Amino acid sequence: MPVRFTRKQMMAHVDRDEDFADWYVDEFMRKNLPDPYYSVSSEGKREMTINGRTYARELGFDDSESQAHFITFMWTIGANFFLHPGFREIANDRSLSGSEKIDRFYAVPKDQAVHAIMNPDDRYWYPEMLPQRQGGAK
């Protein structure tokens, strides 16, 4: 009988933030996001990935696969994409699983996606740069 693994078992090696960042940057990002991979320092990419994962967790993305998708949206749309209309409502909907939210992100109307792309705020890669997050406030 063949051995079968669940998605959770397959992603178990990336439970810790540092392991997740190593996997995301070295395996996924290098292949799929070459522009930021080659333009951001190794330390910077890892820190940004961990910070992105923190946002994902805060918004209810509990599995590593959905967190990786969320971070990819941060890289491709803008670090603050989840605050823009269309994305914001989905990201804050606690009735949806992480994978359901990702599916719905892909269905955001084009005009809302364009708005998010045209209004990025890279400070969201570094939450300590945001006044409302300083001192632990969210």
At residue 103, the 3 state secondary structure works out as: helix
**DSSP per-residue codes, 42-92:** HHHHHHHHHHHHHHHHHTT--SHHHHHHHHHHHHHT-TTGGGSTTHHHHHT
Confidence band of 130 (pLDDT split at 50, 70, 90): confident
pLDDT in tens, 60-100: 999 999 999 999 999 999 999 999 999 999 999 999 999 99
Q: Residue 53 in contact with residue 71, Cβ under 8 Å?
A: yes
Q: In 3D, which of 102, 47, 24, 42 has the Cα closest to residue 70?
A: 102
pLDDT mean over 12-35: 90
Q: State residue 9's pLDDT score.
A: 45
Q: Is the pLDDT of residue 1 over 80?
A: no
Q: Is the pLDDT of residue 10 over 50?
A: no
Q: State residue 111's pLDDT score.
A: 98
SS (HEC) of 89-107? HHHCCCCCCHHHHHHHHCC
Q: State residue 45's pLDDT score.
A: 97
Rounded Cα gap, residues 70 and 92, in angstroms: 13
pLDDT mean over 2-28: 74
Confidence band of 131 (pLDDT split at 50, 70, 90): confident
Q: What is the mean pLDDT of the chain?
A: 89
pTM of the complete model: 0.85
Task: Record the tokens describing residue 133, joined without a space.
Answer: 């997050």
Q: State residue 27's pLDDT score.
A: 94
Residue 49 identity (one-letter amino acid): T
| Percent of the chain surpassing pLDDT 70 | 86
Residue ranges of E strands in the chain: none
pLDDT mean over 56-62: 97
